[in-house]
Amino acid sequence: MYRIDSVLVLLALLPLIMAVLVRGFVIGRRQRKMQKALNRAMTARSQSAVADAPESQADESIRQGTTSVQNDLGSLFGVRFFFPATMLSFLYLVAFSIGLSALSSKGPCVGFLCWPFNCFDVKYLYDPVFAAIGAYTFHTGMIVRRSFISDITKNVYWSSINRLLFSVAISITLSALLADKSVAMVISFGVAFFPSFFITALRKLIRQKLGITETAIPELEIQLIQGVDIWKEDRLVEEGIESVQNLATANVFTLAAKMHYPMRTIVDWMDQAILIQRFPNQLGAILQAGLPVSAIEFAWMGLNDTDGSKSTLIGGKLDLDPIIVKEAMDSFGQDVVVRVLWRLWQTADTE
């Protein structure tokens, strides 16, 4: 029994162990790599594709970005990084302890892990136990996968805590509603794997009961960005990036500090998002015409469109007034964010 307890304690402490390893071996290397990229961007002023724009603003943005990256890394992976990891491990210990007590078929559980619950009748907690096991299975797979790509943040632990508590709450509700306990256990185990499905269904049910209709204009889905699949979409959503508009207005330095993707990849996504946000209904026409989905490229074409031929040609392809296209090109060329993205694109590593 004590051997089983020791194994369960080790499994429960896995999130905290991974946090220690990430903090000790990953963050310093990421910080040095990003610092080199930002230093190169600071020296790329004379090479900028929008050299006639006020480059001093881009210099100041990159300078502030350098400080922001240092502060973000310190905040993300400081003492507060270990708090959610410790809390998650503690919740796992409690869940395993209750599980051992609930599943013990021969009187009180005698292991050291479940002794706090020996004085309680916890047999009615079978469903929450299965929900916790399902959540642990999902979280462990995610943490192991994310550890291989050096992409574990405190948001991983907070989302795991939310998923665990949500799964347990749903399982308690199912236990009260369903007479067939075996069905309740199976559903409780699977809740952690598909929480968004249950949240969406519950939200629709509530809106129907209250007679609320959806009148808001739907936001542009993040998968409109080329290179973003469902896994990258989940990672962006984890950082609060749930739409094209969110990505277009995000802070490139903060995202680079939080995510493991190369700087050029993040720059490319944001570059696309800025253009798509400006011309959402023309995205299909842009792709069909072979035009770049890039605000940087549009800014470059605008700087070289002295006779208006490029804006006229693009306007014809996109079924837009050439004046609107020209105004968009000029605004991109004067946008500080676009200039910063261009310099980061030119100087950042691909790995």
Claim to verify: residue 205 and residue 231 sit in the same structural domain: no
The better pLDDT of the pair 308, 126 is held by 308
Claim to verify: residue 233 and residue 173 sit in the same structural domain: no
Claim to verify: residue 184 and residue 55 sit in the same structural domain: yes
Claim to verify: residue 183 and residue 256 sit in the same structural domain: no
What band does 170 get if pLDDT is binned at 50, 70 and 90? confident
Last residue of a domain, one of 174, 189, 210: 210
pLDDT tens for each residue of 212-227: 665 556 778 898 999 9
By CB atoms closer than 10 A (0-12, 13-18, 19+), residue 114 is buried
User: Mean pLDDT highest for which of 94-108, 165-179, 193-207, 255-269?
Assistant: 255-269
The domain total for the chain is 2
Q: Is the pLDDT of residue 334 over 60?
A: yes
Q: For residue 217, tell me if it sits in a domain.
A: no
Report the predicted TM-score, pTM, of the whole model to 2 decimal places: 0.75
Q: For residue 247, tell me if it sits in a domain.
A: yes
The better pLDDT of the pair 16, 179 is held by 16
Other CB atoms closer than 10 Å to residue 312's CB: what's the count? 16
Claim to verify: residue 64 and residue 198 sit in the same structural domain: yes
Claim to verify: residue 66 and residue 136 sit in the same structural domain: yes
- Helix ranges restricted to H, the chain: 2-12, 14-25, 27-42, 55-76, 79-103, 126-148, 154-177, 181-191, 195-210, 230-238, 244-248, 252-258, 263-278, 283-288, 295-303, 309-318, 322-334, 336-347
Claim to verify: residue 142 and residue 6 sit in the same structural domain: yes
pLDDT tens for each residue of 38-58: 777 777 654 444 455 456 777
**Residue 175 is part of which domain span?**
2-210
Last residue of a domain, one of 210, 230, 258: 210
338 neighbors 345 (Cβ within 8 angstroms): no
Q: For residue 15, tell me if it sits in a domain.
A: yes
Q: Which of 95-99, 124-128, 167-171, 305-309 has the lowest mean pLDDT?
A: 124-128
Segment 312-324 mean pLDDT: 91
The better pLDDT of the pair 256, 150 is held by 256
Claim to verify: residue 146 and residue 242 sit in the same structural domain: no
Q: For residue 266, tell me if it sits in a domain.
A: yes
Q: For residue 216, tell me if it sits in a domain.
A: no
pLDDT tens for each residue of 99-115: 777 666 545 555 555 65
Q: For residue 136, tell me if it sits in a domain.
A: yes
What band does 11 get if pLDDT is binned at 50, 70 and 90? confident
Q: For residue 302, tell me if it sits in a domain.
A: yes
Claim to verify: residue 144 and residue 238 sit in the same structural domain: no
What band does 250 get if pLDDT is binned at 50, 70 and 90? very high
Last residue of a domain, one of 156, 178, 210: 210
State the number of CA atoms in the 13 A half-sphere of 321 facing the CB: 3
Claim to verify: residue 48 and residue 179 sit in the same structural domain: yes
pLDDT of the residue at 48:
47
Claim to verify: residue 130 and residue 13 sit in the same structural domain: yes
Claim to verify: residue 62 and residue 201 sit in the same structural domain: yes
CA distance 65 to 187: 46
CA distance 303 to 55: 15
CA distance 199 to 57: 44
Q: For residue 198, tell me if it sits in a domain.
A: yes
CA distance 250 to 140: 30
Nearest to 233 by CA among 248, 220, 223: 223
Mean pLDDT of the chain: 79
The better pLDDT of the pair 328, 176 is held by 328
